[in-house]
Amino acid sequence: MDLIAARDRLSVVKALLDTGMAAPTRPDKAVRSLAALHRWGPTPAAAYLGAAIRHPDRLAIADERGTLTFGEVHSRSNALARELATAGISQGDGVAIMCRNHRGFIESTVACSKLGATALYLNTAFAGPQITDVLAREDAAAVIYDEDFAELVAEGAAARKRFVAWTASEPRARAAGEDQRIEDLIARGEDSNLDPPAERGSVVILTSGTTGAPKGAARKQPDSIGPAAALFSKIPLRARETTMIAAPMFHSWGFAHFTLALPLASTLVLRRRFDPEETLRAAAQMRATTLALVPVMLQRIMELGEETIARYDLSALRIIALSGSALPGELATRAMDTFGEVLYNLYGSTEVAWATIATPADLRAAPGTAGRPPIGTVVKLLDEHGREVSQGESGRIFVGNEMMFDGYTGGGGKEVIDGLMSTGDVGHLDSDGRMFVDGRDDEMIVSGGENVFPREVEDLLADHAEIEEAAVVGVPDEEFGQRLKAFVVTRNGTELDEAAIKDYVKQNLARYKVPREVVFLSELPRNATGKVLKRDLDTE
What is the CATH class of 45-206? Answer: alpha beta
What pLDDT does 8 receive? Answer: 67
Would you give the DSSP letter of residue 408? Answer: B
Q: How far apart are CA 517 and CA 529, in angstroms?
A: 28
Q: How far apart are CA 440 and CA 58, in angstroms?
A: 44
**What sign results for the dihedral spanned by CA atoms 102, 104, 109, 111?**
positive
What pLDDT does 493 receive? Answer: 76
Could you give the C-alpha distances from 466 to 223, 237, 390, 450, 470, in angstroms and in order? 49, 35, 36, 29, 11
Q: Is 25 left (phi over 0), alpha (psi -120 to 50) or beta?
A: beta
CB 247 within 8 Å of CB 269 = no
What pLDDT does 3 receive? Answer: 42
CB 327 within 8 Å of CB 292 = no
Note down pLDDT in tens along the chain; length 540 residues: 344 455 566 777 787 778 877 676 788 887 888 887 778 888 888 889 999 999 999 999 999 999 999 999 999 999 999 999 999 999 999 999 999 999 999 999 999 999 999 999 998 988 898 899 999 999 999 999 999 999 999 999 999 999 999 998 666 666 656 899 999 999 999 999 999 999 988 888 887 655 456 777 766 666 667 778 888 999 999 999 999 999 999 988 999 999 999 989 999 999 999 999 999 999 999 999 999 999 989 999 999 999 999 999 999 999 999 998 888 899 999 999 999 999 999 999 888 889 999 999 999 999 999 999 998 899 999 998 999 999 999 999 999 988 877 778 777 778 899 999 999 899 999 999 999 998 888 788 888 777 788 888 998 998 898 999 899 998 888 777 888 999 999 988 788 899 999 999 999 888 889 999 999 999 999 887 778 888 888 766
Among candidates 371, 318, 375, which has minimal Cα distance to 346?
A: 371
**What sign results for the dihedral spanned by CA atoms 516, 522, 528, 529?**
positive
What pLDDT does 176 receive? Answer: 58
Could you give the C-alpha distances from 422 to 380, 414, 439, in angstroms and in order? 10, 6, 13
Please name every residue paired with 216 in a beta bridge, in sequence order, or none if there are none. Answer: 206
What pLDDT does 528 receive? Answer: 75
CB 400 within 8 Å of CB 377 = yes
Q: How far apart are CA 126 and CA 477, in angstroms?
A: 34
What pLDDT does 226 receive? Answer: 73
Query: Residue 503's CB: how many other CB atoms inside 10 A?
Result: 12
Among candidates 414, 416, 420, 415, which has minimal Cα distance to 399?
A: 420
Model's pTM, two decimal places?
0.86
Query: Residue 193's CB: how many other CB atoms inside 10 A?
Result: 13
DSSP 58-80: SEEEEETTEEEEHHHHHHHHHHH
The residue extents of the domains of the chain are 45-206, 369-440, 445-536
Query: Residue 492's CB: how many other CB atoms inside 10 A?
Result: 8
Using DSSP's 3-state secondary structure scheme, residue 387 falls into coil
Q: What are phi and psi of 287, to 5 degrees?
A: 55, 50
Give alpha helix (H) positions in 199-316.
226-232, 252-264, 276-285, 295-302, 306-309
**What sign results for the dihedral spanned by CA atoms 439, 445, 451, 454?**
negative
Would you give the DSSP letter of residue 249? Answer: T
What is the CATH class of 369-440? Answer: mainly beta
Among candidates 155, 256, 160, which has minimal Cα distance to 205?
A: 256
What pLDDT does 212 receive? Answer: 52
Q: How far apart are CA 411 and CA 14, in angstroms?
A: 39
Q: How far apart are CA 137 and CA 140, in angstroms?
A: 8
CATH fit for domain 445-536, picks 3.40.50.720, 3.30.300.30, 3.40.50.300, 3.40.640.10: 3.30.300.30
What pLDDT does 209 receive? Answer: 56
What pLDDT does 289 receive? Answer: 98
- The two beta strands, 378-382 and 395-400, are antiparallel
Q: How far apart are CA 238 and CA 264, in angstroms?
A: 7
Q: What are phi and psi of 183, to 5 degrees?
A: -65, -35
